[in-house]
Structure 1
Amino acid sequence: MLVQQQKLILSPYMEIYNIVVPKDNLLRQINELVDFSFIYDELKDKYCHDNGRNAVCPVRLFKYLLLKAIFDISDVDVVERSKYDMSFKYFLDMAPEEDVIDPSLLTKFRRMRLKDVNLLDMLIDKTVSIALKNNIIKSKSIIVDATHTRARYNQKSPREILQERSKKLRKSIYKIDESMKEKFPAKNKEDDLKKEIEYCTNLLSVVKKHENLIHHPKVSENLNYLEETLQDDIEHLAIAEENDAKIGHKTADTSFFGFKTHLAMTEERIVVAATITSGEKNDGKELKSLYEKSKKSGLEIDTIIGDSAYSEKGNIQLAEENDLKLVSKLNPSVTQGFRRKENEFQFNKDAGMYICKAGHMAIRKARQGKKNVSKNQVDTYYFDVEKCKICPFKDGCYKEGSKTKTYSVSIKSDIHKAQIEFQNSEYFKEKSKERYKIEAKNSELKHRHGYDIASSSGLFGMNLQAAAALFTVNIKRIIKLIGEK
């Protein structure tokens, strides 16, 4: 049963807070700045109001989640600290002598009470309304960018998984018969998944010839584990979902397994919109959503600032339709007109390569044709045909028996002339200098609020983590700007 938390706490020890929690304490400042009753109003329908034991107020549980984001600590640690840290107790609206909750309640709160609640947009909109009320946001520009967060689980590559499992098998055998070292095939030392699969297959073949070994439980267990991994589609493992996480690429040579947070931020460094996607998604495709969310929060926008990932044709059209200036440098590979299978192949601006529907990146590209002739130049991207042969999406994409798999895009020499002209203007050059601010915000999220690794699995968990972290960084920024007035 839900009973609204009383604002007046009847305790003879409340004056302690005025002594031990100074006015410039961050948690005191947040409590004084934000009326958290909107959390109660949003979640009250998730509780029973006339039956059962009294529930812990959702506002207090939500504040626990904020403390986790502010101090980057676990459920157990945040509850433990609230036993003795008076600033925590003050922030949580607890009496000094009051008992703390059981940490398991936070897990239940996230799973049961926050399900189907768009907490991310709600919290960002709340901070934006506070910023507007305090006349903090004066610019009419939004800066857009995406930051990656690694998945909490399954961060190893398929080759690393095979290496680990074959190593366990060998070690279990050496404990029984060290002479087997001489009979095993030479280890693969190249960063090549195909060769690793070949090595593991040969290793299993050798082990299975020695029945005296495979009857040992530990050997049998490790052998079955490795064989099961090989029997599974190893290429599927490379792009397998970890409850929505996917492989994304930071450059042509580096990748991550996890999620992307797409952000829109004002020049005052207040985040005004965000969307969460799996890691392989294209940054530019999220611009429309970020713009619409920013407008909905009450902002006036005349300029969008971003890197070359946002200069694709659809975004330039969006800017023209809404009388916006798009400060995003053109990249010939992302500003194409009509492209064959446009939804199946997306350009990754960090790597400078296209990625197919299965998540595989092109291994090289070549430009064909000459400039300034009647026929357009073409960029042709080449994919690893060995991956295409076993790809679950090969039907209609890869022709059986083909020795190559390519994807070509035509570079229009006469397209986007207005954007090219705008790109050379002083306004474009000056506004481009503002883009570093969002990179600094991404760094703050990762290094101060644990945003480099997901705190739980799945898009739902990532949305909750983003909501708490972005609410925190916005409120901290608002408090700083109010103090500078």
Structure 2
Amino acid sequence: MLKKKNRVITDQVEFVCLSELVPQDHLLRLVDASINFDFIYDEVKDLYSDTTGRPSIDPVVLIKLLVLQILYGITSMRQTISDAQVNLAYRWFLGYGFQEKIPHFSTFGKNYERRFKESDLFEKIFERVLFEAIECGFIKADAVFFDASHIKANANKNKYVKKMAQHRVHKYKRELMIEINADRESHGKKPFTDDNDNDSDGTMIEEKEVKESTTDPESGMFHKGEKERCFAYTATVACERNNFILGVKTAPGNVHDSQVFTDVFQDVIEKFNDIKAVVADSGYKTPGVCREIMQANKIPVMPYKRPMTKEGYFKKYEYVYDEYYDCYICPNNQVLKYSTTNREGYREYKSNPKICVQCSLRIQCTQSQNFTKVVNRHIWESYVEYAEDVRHTHQGQDLYRRRSQTIERVFADAKERHGMRYTRYRGLRKVQHYLTLLFACMNLKKLAMWKKKRGMLPPFSRTFPSMLSKFMKLVTINKSRLLAFRPEAGFVYTLERRRLIS
């Protein structure tokens, strides 16, 4: 039988409690119960005046607005405010009633520029959520998974200028130069002079030509493989087995992943002492990164890295290194002797051209005009070889397979569900703050769901019946005017507006 919906009910007045309209298992209710946001007041109290000025918007409300934007992947603060005006769950989460006016969409931006921009509020929020997960025993940091992903910047890729820019060289470059000179002296060669400029603290400075965006100068031109060339930022992230994010660092898109690794790695190992293995992809399989991991007494777990040798030529692994005599043996059993150590930290081993000119395998070995084959070996190559040995162990293979379930899934969720594919913010600091809060929200969401599964959340209290009883003492409702009474729906009373008791 055909039934038509009576729309008269939309013109009726209902006495309801906002808290009763939010389901018990709603995500925002779980998030609100899993952590107390009042700690934000202590973090920002020095940013507000105690004596002058008008009363401010509650800083917890400002942060919760950004949390709503991230949790539901809303593209802008303007849209977040628009949704909060009509979404009852959003209003409940913010602590706003039916008739209260939601703050203007520009309020957060003004407060960020005037108060939060130079503070460490977002890092404190990230640390607080992570601390709560640690206290609950959800963190299993025996193995840490590292990776980086790019975020498209809010900048036109065709609007840029070329310029020479100074940048700080990785701190291990100075350590490498010291070992290079020591290695050269041990072979009877002169040490190199330091041609790079030094900062006041002794950090090496290099100059190189870069493409600088005229829209967002702090972003960097990103280009990798078949991906589109664009201005972007990169986020280097570390997570543990249960996908809780342990650290995050943002850098311009033209900075290599291995250069940002140190900052995140040092931050993570300071917080967690029980880390045994560090799992990363082939982009981190460099002598410097492997050395840093092993010097921290951690096990580097990295995949096979394809040789960059041209097709049809012998691969580097086909040349055997003899550690005792410090030489290489070519596939034709000829010796390549040590020649020199270059500025990049590679020892050069060269063949005898008189032997190579008559070799039947020379076409597969080298096309050098002087018939000399050169094989390079980094002075920290032993660290990479150890990582290669770990790759063949059962532990290394099992840990690396978990990358698809851990760090790769973290980036997939961040981009598909929480809007990390693009950024509307400009400037490295703003993007860093936003990404820090984004990963804090991802941790908070997981924390809330895990607490629910383990029964660690406080029980849901139904406060509306007591409020209704107080209201009923003041107003007497005629039974003939009572249209609906549904206890299972949370004591919802409906009255016709034109017959409402004055």
Code of the aligned partner of 1:264: A
Name the structure 1 match of 2:39.
Answer: 38
CA contact (8 A) 2:18 2:97 kept: no
Q: Does 1:322 align with 2:323?
A: no
C-alpha deviation, 1:435, in angstroms: 1.0
**Greater fraction of residues in strand:** 2
CA contact (8 A) 1:152 1:457 kept: yes
SS of 1:304's equivalent in the other structure is strand
Name the structure 2 match of 1:301.
Answer: 275
Name the structure 1 match of 2:129.
Answer: 127
1:92–1:267: structure 2 CA closer, same or farther, 3 Å change rule?
Answer: same
**What per-residue deviation string (whole Å, max 9, x for no partner) do you get for residues 204-241 of structure 1?**
xxxxxxxxxxxxxxxxxxxxxxxxxxxxxxx9656667
1:419-430 aligned at under 5 Å gives the runs 419-430=387-398
Q: Does 1:461 align with 2:435?
A: no
SS of 2:413's equivalent in the other structure is helix
Aligned equivalents of 1:135, 1:297: Cα separation in 2: 15
Code of the aligned partner of 2:27: L
Aligned equivalents of 1:40, 1:64: Cα separation in 2: 16
1:369-384 aligned at under 5 Å gives the runs 371-372=319-320, 373=328, 374-375=336-337
Aligned equivalents of 2:251, 2:16: Cα separation in 1: 46
1:86-101 aligned at under 5 Å gives the runs 86-101=88-103
SS of 2:249's equivalent in the other structure is strand
Aligned equivalents of 1:99, 1:298: Cα separation in 2: 44
C-alpha deviation, 1:409, in angstroms: 9.4
1:314–1:463: structure 2 CA closer, same or farther, 3 Å change rule?
Answer: same
Aligned equivalents of 1:37, 1:116: Cα separation in 2: 21
CA contact (8 A) 1:376 1:410 kept: no
Select between 238-247 and 66-75 the one with higher mean Cα deviation.
238-247
Name the structure 2 match of 1:448.
Answer: 417
1:42–1:376: structure 2 CA closer, same or farther, 3 Å change rule?
Answer: farther
Name the structure 2 match of 1:410.
Answer: 376
SS of 2:102's equivalent in the other structure is coil
Name the structure 2 match of 1:480.
Answer: 449
1:65–1:275: structure 2 CA closer, same or farther, 3 Å change rule?
Answer: same
RMSD: 3.3
The higher radius of gyration belongs to 2
Q: Once the two structures are aligned, what percentage of the paired residues are identical?
A: 19
Select between 265-274 and 471-480 the one with higher mean Cα deviation.
471-480
TM value normalised by structure 1: 0.64
Code of the aligned partner of 1:51: T
Name the structure 1 match of 2:63.
Answer: 62
1:295–1:93: structure 2 CA closer, same or farther, 3 Å change rule?
Answer: farther
Aligned equivalents of 1:460, 1:148: Cα separation in 2: 16
Aligned equivalents of 1:259, 1:47: Cα separation in 2: 32
SS of 2:155's equivalent in the other structure is coil
Which of 219, 232, 239 matches 1:258?
A: 232
1:253–1:103: structure 2 CA closer, same or farther, 3 Å change rule?
Answer: closer
SS of 1:478's equivalent in the other structure is helix
C-alpha deviation, 1:469, in angstroms: 1.4
**Greater fraction of residues in helix:** 1
CA contact (8 A) 2:157 2:213 kept: no
Aligned equivalents of 1:147, 1:28: Cα separation in 2: 31
**What per-residue deviation string (whole Å, max 9, x for no partner) do you get for residues 365-387 of structure 1?**
x99998343258999xxxxxxxx
Code of the aligned partner of 2:69: K
Select between 98-107 and 13-22 the one with higher mean Cα deviation.
13-22
1:14–1:261: structure 2 CA closer, same or farther, 3 Å change rule?
Answer: farther
Aligned equivalents of 1:256, 1:441: Cα separation in 2: 23
1:182-331 aligned at under 5 Å gives the runs 242-251=216-225, 254-298=228-272, 300-329=274-303, 331=305
Aligned equivalents of 1:253, 1:63: Cα separation in 2: 35
Which of 113, 116, 124 matches 1:114?
A: 116
Select between 442-451 and 460-469 the one with higher mean Cα deviation.
460-469
1:119–1:292: structure 2 CA closer, same or farther, 3 Å change rule?
Answer: farther
Q: Does 1:24 align with 2:62?
A: no
Aligned equivalents of 1:270, 1:292: Cα separation in 2: 17
Aligned equivalents of 1:312, 1:318: Cα separation in 2: 10
Q: Does 1:433 align with 2:401?
A: yes
How many equivalent residue pairs?
Answer: 342
Aligned equivalents of 2:300, 2:122: Cα separation in 1: 26
SS of 1:24's equivalent in the other structure is coil
C-alpha deviation, 1:482, in angstroms: 2.7
CA contact (8 A) 2:302 2:388 kept: no
SS of 2:40's equivalent in the other structure is helix
C-alpha deviation, 1:139, in angstroms: 4.1
Higher relative contact order (CA 8 A, sep 6+): 2
SS of 1:415's equivalent in the other structure is helix
Aligned equivalents of 1:286, 1:237: Cα separation in 2: 20
TM value normalised by structure 2: 0.62
Code of the aligned partner of 2:98: P
Code of the aligned partner of 2:439: L
